[in-house]
Amino acid sequence: MKIVFFGPPGSGKGTQAKLLAKELNIIHLSTGDILRDKLSDDDSLSIKLKDIMSSGNLVSDEILNQIIANKLISKECSDGFILDGYPRTISQSDFLLSFFKRNSLILDVIFNFKIDFKLVEERIILRSKQEQRSDDNIDVIKTRLDKYIEETYPVSQFFSENFSQNFFNIDASQEVSKIQKELINIIKKGQK
């Protein structure tokens, strides 16, 4: 099973992607988590990443595409995967779709988390207090949401038009357990 999650920062897609990966026993590929892991390396890349991520901007497509290509060809992805936070730009989407084509892979399900941006701001402020993520303070929320609107929203639109049979909008303002049940039901039912 190959699944992609779209949604603005703070929409809860990371939490849901993690729960669903466990349920389906497939790997959860969060590019945000992978990049945060790299921050602890003591090299020039980690310094560059820290600057970009703490400002709320996007890391370059070249870096992300390389990370994802390495992951997708690895054995841990052979039974399927959940992509969370990728693709985030049209260039990443082109890269992913050509990777799928080259390797005769099929995208099974796309979940698009929808939520009011005011609620997102409140959630991110709360998370910044709980997890102390450097990119969760109020100053960078706007940049992160702007990046989502400018770069990622068009990607989700592209998928909704080109994969309409496998594309599901999710009301992300609902409770965690309710959303989880909804996702599992959709997976069980398959296509629309």
Contacts to ligand AMP by CB under 6 A:
9, 31-32, 35, 52-53, 56-59, 64, 85-86, 88, 92, 135, 144
Q: In the complex, what is the shortest distance from the CB of residue 153 to ligand AMP, in angstroms, rounded to a whole number?
A: 14
The first and second tokens of residue 81, run together, are 């995967």
**Nearer to ligand AMP by C-beta: 36 or 80?**
36
How many other CB atoms are found less than 10 A from the CB of residue 37?
11
**Nearer to ligand AMP by C-beta: 52 or 105?**
52
Q: Which residues contact 107 (CB under 8 A, 6 or more apart)?
A: 2, 3, 4, 100, 163, 166
Q: In the complex, what is the shortest distance from the CB of residue 128 to ligand AMP, in angstroms, rounded to a whole number?
A: 12
Angle formed at CA 62 by CA 55 and CA 156, multiple of 5 degrees: 75
Q: In the complex, what is the shortest distance from the CB of residue 56 to ligand AMP, in angstroms, rounded to a whole number?
A: 6
The residue at minimum Cβ distance from ligand AMP is: 32
Q: In the complex, what is the shortest distance from the CB of residue 147 to ligand AMP, in angstroms, rounded to a whole number?
A: 7
**Nearer to ligand AMP by C-beta: 47 or 165?**
47
Q: In the complex, what is the shortest distance from the CB of residue 20 to ligand AMP, in angstroms, rounded to a whole number?
A: 16
State the Cα–Cα distance between residues 162 and 48, nearest whole angstrom.
35
State the Cα–Cα distance between residues 44 and 46, nearest whole angstrom.
5
State the Cα–Cα distance between residues 131 and 108, nearest whole angstrom.
32
State the Cα–Cα distance between residues 140 and 155, nearest whole angstrom.
22
**Nearer to ligand AMP by C-beta: 98 or 165?**
98
Q: What's the chain's length in residues?
A: 192
**Nearer to ligand AMP by C-beta: 119 or 164?**
119
State the Cα–Cα distance between residues 44 and 94, nearest whole angstrom.
28
